[in-house]
Amino acid sequence: MSAPAAHSAEAGHQEPSKFHVFIQIAMVLAVITGIEVVLVYLPLAKWLVVSTLCILSAVKFMFVIFIFMHLKWDKLLCTILFFIGLVLAGGTMWALLHLFGAEASKPLSSIVGLISL
């Protein structure tokens, strides 16, 4: 009976435990958050700040869902179901924002004329 690959001499090293991976990812997330905070106070163009913040937030989101929510180690079906729910929630949020946004809450000009009569 042969030894497992992680403990054999041919492997050369052991893989880090999930705990160490979690700590490393948490440190990366803390650094990204620090960059985001500093970025807000830098005198840069607004479009550049907003674009960079969106990209950094997406990177943090991916780290969190794949590592801390364990999607990296789950079955593919669980990941697909998560993203289907995410797309549905995003679409619902977009529709509600457009339905009840500032433009939609302005009174119609024909109704304003009827009210003043």
Domain count, the chain: 2
The structure's pTM equals 0.61
Segment among 5-14, 27-36, 63-72, 90-99 with least mean pLDDT: 5-14
Q: Is the pLDDT reported for residue 71 higher than 60?
A: yes
Quote the pLDDT of residue 17. 81
In a domain, 65, yes or no: yes
In a domain, 2, yes or no: no
Quote the pLDDT of residue 84. 94
User: 75-96: per-residue pLDDT in tens?
Assistant: 888 888 889 999 999 999 999 9
In a domain, 91, yes or no: yes
Say whether both 54 and 94 belong to one domain: no
Quote the pLDDT of residue 4. 55
Q: For residue 99, what are the domain limits?
A: 75-117
Residue ranges in 1-117 assigned as alpha helix (H) = 18-41, 46-63, 76-99, 109-115
User: 22-53: per-residue pLDDT in tens?
Assistant: 899 899 999 999 999 999 999 999 999 999 99
CA 46, 49, 55: angle at the middle one, nearest 5?
140
